Amino acid sequence: MTSTRTPIIAGNWKMQHGGRSGCELAAAIRRDLADPRGVSVVVAPPFTALAAVSAELDGSAISVAGQNMHAAGSGAFTGEISAAMLKEAGASWVILGHSERRQLFGETDAGVAEKTGAALAAGLRPIVCVGETLAERDAGRTFDVVLAQVAAVTATLAPSAGHAIAYEPVWAIGTGRNATAAQAEEVHARIRALLAETSVALAEATPILYGGSVKPDNAAALLSCPNVDGALVGGASLDSRQFLAIVAAAHGP
């Protein structure tokens, strides 16, 4: 991390802790996060818990994110949620293009770009996820895939937009096999170089988070990389002590 970008630690609860247990987890994080010390802490509960978790965290330094949204503002889209609805429920962030959305629900680069633009237009801060599969990495296509995913959203971004990008190699998500610090840094640096082709200011302003089996014992090494500005945490975000240990790793020594 560099001192110019605020570190972000975001917890993606996925389809877990929807109701009362989500409020309990949020309350535990709030209680034990004595001082975020300049780290931006975000939790992303399921839609059903967004409003209650937001209320639980009201007045705290912890922000709330949606895990997905529809690009349209409203309309006949059964089962979908708009950016305005996420905001109304208390979210200030939204995770977009998570690999589970891309792989299991057919989300495309173009669709993620549309959602990113819609989120920003509505005043929500998108965390745009990118990452290669193991087959793509083994075929030597990591940079092609990841940079194409980033390029798809670059036109929607501006230095002051408040967005973040999360590099999440698909092979590292939920597997316990995290990218090494060197592997993460290599891809993060390439992402930042691509952003710099649009503008150096955009490259400098964009936090690039790493995600994929981030745990208390590997967080410090990953977060010490100059181009790793935070973490998007799945499994370890379901335990307040583990999550807060990762937040503490973002403080640095």
What residues act catalytically? 98, 168
Residue selected from 26, 152, 233, 244 as contacting ligand PGA according to rule CB under 6 A: 233
Residue selected from 234, 246, 247, 249 as contacting ligand PGA according to rule CB under 6 A: 234
Strand blocks (E) in 13-163: 40-44, 62-66, 93-96, 125-130
Q: Look-up: residue for tokens 């690039």? A: 208
User: From residue 118 to residue 157, what is the string marking binding to ligand PGA with x (rule CB under 6 A)?
Assistant: ----------------------------------------
Residue 71 φ then ψ, to 5°: -75, -25
CA angle 142/143/145 to nearest 5° reads 70
Q: 164: which strand partners? A: 127
Residue selected from 168, 218, 219, 242 as contacting ligand PGA according to rule CB under 6 A: 168
Number of CB atoms found within 10 A of residue 146's CB = 24
Applying CB under 6 A, the span of 66-74, 151-159, 186-194, 209-217 interacting with ligand PGA comes to 209-217
Applying CB under 6 A, the span of 20-28, 116-124, 139-147, 234-242 interacting with ligand PGA comes to 234-242
Residue selected from 214, 219, 228, 249 as contacting ligand PGA according to rule CB under 6 A: 214
In order of 60, 108, 149, 209, the CA distances from 137 in angstroms are 40, 19, 15, 19
CB environment 92-110: b (16+ within 10 A), e (fewer): bbbbbbbbbbbeeeebebe
* Residue 165 C-beta: closest distance to ligand PGA, Å: 13
Residue selected from 116, 154, 213, 242 as contacting ligand PGA according to rule CB under 6 A: 213
In order of 12, 92, 118, 236, the CA distances from 17 in angstroms are 11, 19, 27, 13
Instruction: Establish if 183 lies at the interface with ligand PGA (CB under 6 A).
Output: no
Instruction: Establish if 212 lies at the interface with ligand PGA (CB under 6 A).
Output: yes
Q: Which stretches of the chain bind ligand PGA, using CB under 6 A?
A: 12, 168, 173-174, 211-214, 232-236
